[in-house]
Amino acid sequence: MIGRVVKGIGGFYFVHDGEHAVMGKARGNLKRNKELIYVGDIVDYDIDANDSDDECVINRVIERRNFLTRPPVSNLDMLVVVFSLRHPAVNYPVIDKLLAGAEKNGIKPVICVSKPDLVSSDELAECRGIYRDIYPVLSVNGNTGEGTEELLEMIRGRSAALAGPSGVGKSTITNHILGDSVAAVATGEISGKTRRGRHTTRHVEVFPLGGGTYLYDTPGFTSLDMDEIEAVRIRELLPEFRELNHRCRYADCMHINEPECAVKEALAAGRINRSRYDSYIMMTEEVKAWQKQRR
Ligand SMILES: Nc1nc2c(ncn2[C@@H]2O[C@H](COP(=O)(O)OP(=O)(O)O)[C@@H](O)[C@H]2O)c(=O)[nH]1
Ligand SMILES: [Mg+2]
Ligand SMILES: [Zn+2]
């Protein structure tokens, strides 16, 4: 049978077949080869009627389009990058690094501005303006749930995770998306209000929302794996740079001090946002520093 690993706890995995989850273990050969099973993996498994503890045994991982290691998850299509402008204040380089990390891993980013009630409509518009032409931009109010429908529409039919700094409202938004009933169906448990009075995330879990939509609930993703990237490749991780990268005088232009640089011209003309450019410079400097350290 084919199913999706939706949870893993201490060597046990929960495999979801589209309707419910069964618990089981990896077959011995997978363990011997130290092959990892990630939450999110599509796996081939058998129902194990003989063993009273395990309901299934996982034979092999059949699909892993991508994977992240902190926290370990696989097969993400979409990363919803959540941040508030105030309480906590936005740190754009942190946000842009998350976006670039998603790009690097082939995951489609979406911007979700939280706590719109704490800022003026001008401030909100200014922020949306930075990303408007680059990524889909949504706003969700965790207090009222306003904007949840739009977010659900955005992730429909995809495997999506919320990412972003702590305190921005990810758990609150997750609560709106899941509701008690969905959470209960997803885990195969009778939930009730007692099980989880308030949503907290201690481990990674995938919630199947039906219709091919999977919401990954994770404790983390404050940054994505950016190791092993060459500084000169970072420019490819900013979509608005892509058409300009090859119009500079030098083919490997880093868009810093080089003459006849299409990106710096676009920056001066206001076609590249200053905040995005500053984040780009920070990312290249960070990567260069890592590489110097390693040598
Ligand atoms: N004013 C305001 N507060 C919110 C909103 N969404 C969430 N919060 C509050 O922000 C705090 C942190 O939220 P939480 O969901 O735990 O953030 P997380 O760390 O990203 O999961 C909580 O006290 C929430 O009640 C919102 O839209 N507006
Ligand atoms: Mg949280
Ligand atoms: Zn350039």
Segments making up each domain of the chain, as ranges: 2-64, 72-217, 231-294
- Per the model's pLDDT, the better-predicted residue between 180 and 231 turns out to be 231
Q: Is domain 231-294 in CATH 1.10.40.50, yes or no?
A: yes
- pLDDT at residue 34 in the model: 79
Closest ligand by atom to 170 CA: 1
* Ligand 1 atom with the shortest distance to the CA of 164: 20
Output the CA 25–ligand 2 centroid distance in Å: 29
Contact 134, 103 (CB under 8 A): no
pLDDT: which is higher, 53 or 107:
107
Kindly give the distance from the C-alpha atom of residue 5 to the centroid of ligand 3, in angstroms, as a whole number. 44
Whether residue 207 is predicted with pLDDT greater than 70 in this model: the reply is yes
Residue 220 pLDDT > 80: no
**Burial (CB count <10 Å: 0-12, 13-18, 19+), residue 19:** exposed
Element at 288 (helix H, strand E): helix 274-294
Mean pLDDT on 235-259 = 97
- Across 147-151, 220-224, 230-234, 283-287, which has the greatest mean pLDDT? 147-151
Å from CA of 114 to ligand 1 middle:
8
Q: CB within 8 A of 287, min separation 6: which ones?
A: 226, 229, 230, 231, 234
Query: 123: burial class by Cβ within 10 Å (0-12, 13-18, 19+)?
Result: middle
CA–CA distance, 195 with 200 (Å, rounded to integer):
11
- Is the domain 72-217 a CATH 3.40.50.300 member? yes
Task: Name the burial class of residue 11, with classes exposed (0-12), middle (13-18) and buried (19+) by CB atoms within 10 angstroms of its CB.
Answer: exposed
Q: Could you tell me the pTM of the whole model?
A: 0.88
User: Measured in angstroms, how far is the CA atom of residue 264 from the centroid of ligand 3?
Assistant: 6
Mean pLDDT (the chain, rounded): 88
Residue nearest to atom 6 of ligand 1 (CA): 142
Who lines ligand 1 at CB under 6 A?
Answer: 114-115, 117-118, 141-143, 166-172
CATH 2.40.50.140 fits 2-64, yes or no: yes
Structure confidence at residue 202 as a pLDDT band (50, 70, 90): low
Distance 185 CA to ligand 1 centre (A): 25
Percent of the chain scoring above 70 in pLDDT: 88
Q: Which of 172, 198, 200 to mutate to test the pocket of ligand 1 (most atoms within 8 A of CB)?
A: 172
**DSSP assignment letter at 69:** E
d(Cα 39, Cα 191) in Å, to the nearest integer? Answer: 22
DSSP H/E element including 279: helix 274-294
Over residues 253-263, mean pLDDT: 97
